[in-house]
Each structure stands twice: as C-alpha cells, then as structure tokens.
Structure 1
Amino acid sequence: MNAKLIFKMELFKYMRDKKYLIATSILAIINICTTVYLVYLIDHAQTLSESESTFFGIFVLFFSLSILANFAFMFLYPFHLMSMDYKNDVMAMLVASGVNRNRLFFSKIGATLLWSFCVTFVLVFIPGFIVLLKATQSTGMLQMFNDLLKYVNVNHLSIFGMSLSFINSYINTLILISAATIIMKGRNLTILVYFGFSMVQSLVINFLDLIPSSMNFSQTGMSLFKNLILMLISIGVALASLSVMKKQNL
C-alpha cells in the first residue's frame, strides 16, 4: 500500500466518523448564528434599544462560551484523529498486513494536518473573515484596525510573519500530539504526556532565547530564530516518534 492510498484511506475514515462530524456541524451552526448577530450589531451599534442592550449581555456570555467550545474541540479533535487506529486495533492490523510504518506515520500526520486545517477554516476563518470584513466597513471599527496595524508595524511584525508563526506552531502542536499518541498507544493519558512535552519544549525554547537576546537581535531576527528552533524541534520529535513507532510492538 503506497503513501497516497494510505492518505486517502485516512481522509475517508475521518469523513465516516459520524459522532465528530455531527459535533463539527453543531459548532458550525452556532458559529453561523453568532456571525449573523455580530454583523447585525456592527450595523446597528449606534441604535440599540434598551431591550436589545439587555440581550447583548446574554449574547456576550453565549459568545464567550462558544469560543471556549470551539477552542476545546479544535484542541481535542487531533488527539481523537491520531488515536483512532490504536483504540480500534486498526494500527496493528495495518502493520500486520505489511503496510510500511514510515509511509503510515507521515500519511497519518499529513491527513490529520489537512483535516484539522479544513475544520479550523470552516469553524473559525470563514466566520472571522466575514466579521472582520463587515467591521472594516464601520468607521469606528476601521479606526480600531488602523491603530492595531500601526501597533504591529511599530513592533516590527507583519501579517505574513504572524501567519508563518501560527502555521509553524500549529504543525508543531500536531507533531507533539502524534508523538504522545504513539508513545501511549492512544490511551486516555496521552493528553498528559502532550502537556509534559509542551512544558519541556517551552523550557528549551526559553533557554535558547537567551542567545539572540545576548547578541542584541532585532525583533524580526528573534522571531525568525524562534521559528527556526521550533521547526528543528518539530523535525527532531517527528524522527523520534517514527523511531518509536518502528520498534513498537502492536
């Protein structure tokens, strides 16, 4: 079985996972309703009645809870995607059937990365883009965004650099999740191992951050240095995970 076929098999498996697809759909509907009301608030911010102002307080609470629900789901979902084969004993069957462990490892990470990005795009990026687009049409909101962009420029950051850092961090998170899942074979304690890895990684990065600080790197240089360190850690963890998976008794 080649890597392309394994990749397609993983995506097909995710699309048949009804329980989590239903949860994703429910969150998507909640986000749509929230987006519609936020657009309404932006349009009528100056003309809200007293009854609408009361409802606005309830909406703020609902909005805060929906944000927490979205982040919790998007954080826990990759753990489920990575551990499915271990919990269903599919991993052992795949390896026993002669599937190459290298191909299986990278195909699973690639499929999880693509699927997680798609879910994040539907749940967060589309509603967020609609709200931001509508907000930029409001004079007050437009001034706020202009001030924010000026603040970013003052700190020598850029939208591209921030996006690169986000993608790098997200890939690193998935690799740490995959490492914890492989070591624990998909058990429920996987999340605790992941937090342990994250703490060790933070300590390493904070220690290495002393190098650019002592050499008076610019803000951009420090950002590039941190991203490079994060990439090297991701590669190292991925290779270590692959080594463990090769020797694992399934």
Structure 2
Amino acid sequence: MEDEDGYMSIDPARRDVYLSPPQETKDLPSNLLWWKIGLGVSLAGFVALTVVLIVLSLSGVQDSLQMDSHPVLFPARLCGSKNSSVLQSLYQLPKYNSCTSNEASCASVPSEICIEIPKSPLSVVANETAIIPIKIQLPKPDWDFIEVLWHHTQGTPEDLILKYSLRSCSPKSKPQLWYKRECHLFLEIMPAHRWKMSAMMNAWLIIWNIEAKHAGRYQVTVKSNNMKEACSFVELKVTEAAKT
C-alpha cells in the first residue's frame, strides 16, 4: 500500500520474501547432456589434431626421402680417369657422327649439333655398372641454353629417363668444352629411374646394377635455343655373368 508521499510501503513480515532472489532450480539431466556434448567436442578436436600431426609427420618423412634421393650430377673428369682402362676404352671406341652418318641420326631434319655415338652395340654384364658414352659438338658458341634428354625407347610412359640442362649461361664464358661453360646446371631424373640411373656433366648416361630389362635402344636428344635439335641412339646389350 502507498503512504502519504505516494511511496509503496513494504510489510516487514514479508520484506525477506521480496528482497531474496528466487532460487534457481537445477536441471541435472540437462547439465549432464551439455557435459557430454563438451566432452565429445573435446575428443573430436583431439582426434583431429592427432590426424593432422600424423599427416605432417608423414609429409616430413617423404620430404626427407626426396632430399636423400636428389639427383646427383657426376663430374665428367671421372670419365677420363687415367686409372680406369674401361673408361679409357669407351673414349677410344669407333664412333658414328650424327651430322655425317644417317645411321647415327634420328632427327627429322639435319641439325648443326653433332652427336658422336659408338658404332657397335655396347655389351655389359648383369649387375655391373653401364656407362653410355657420347660426344656432343656445338658449332655455335653463343647459345643460351642446352638441354639433353635420355630415353629408353620401349614404347612405355617410362621411356624418359632424365633431363640435363645448362641454363642462364654467361655470355662471356665460351670454353672449348660445352659443359664447362658458366651456367646453372639442372638434372631431373624420372622417379622410375632415380635409384638406377644418372648422368655425368658431359651427358654420359650411367646405369647401376644393370639388369636384363635395361637392354635395348637408348636415345639421346640435344636441344638449344639457336640450333635445331639433334637426335641419336645407342644399342645396349646385357649378358649374364659367368657362373663359377
């Protein structure tokens, strides 16, 4: 009820009833449900984080393997080692010249680039290291890049073995040997051949632990910015090791 000044008067007997806030009733099933939902979300987040960490770990291992299997370009001086009679004999093999012999060229049109290849098929014993020697002659010294491609011509998608290129070459660098020019060197070996094959700086092809499946024709193609591409091929035979 109101007093003379218009204010509401409160019955002292009921004062505590008005001033005390209403007590909240606790819904135990509802709280338990929300607790379960929170726990489920936490577990889901933990599982997702674990999966992400596993994927990152596997990616790191894969990257490490790729780094370990990075292609290696071997120095050409290894081919000319005086201590190796085998390598010296490869230098001295009778050769065809792709510029003067149709038997040594597989290019559709004549090229200024000449490739010298062995006249006779190379023969290598199984499980040994095979080296396919070639000699590339570039009559024009003012080229900007050279790219050498090796193929194992079997008619399969894995025919391409590697790409070896010299790019961004210094115009002032004009050595007698093309592969000694000051350039950025790039070697890309296809995954199927990465653990078996590589190249030397003078573009000789190397095959380790050779097997019967590696026998056949190997084609080498040389490309340049100011000369038509040249193409030649070498036959390789694989023989079984003598039984003791």
Indicate whether the TM-score tops 0.5: no
Q: What TM-score does the superposition give when structure 2 sets the normalisation length?
A: 0.20
The structure that is strand-richer by fraction is: 2
Q: What TM-score does the superposition give when structure 1 sets the normalisation length?
A: 0.19
Q: Which has the higher contact order (CA 8 A, sep 6+)?
A: 1
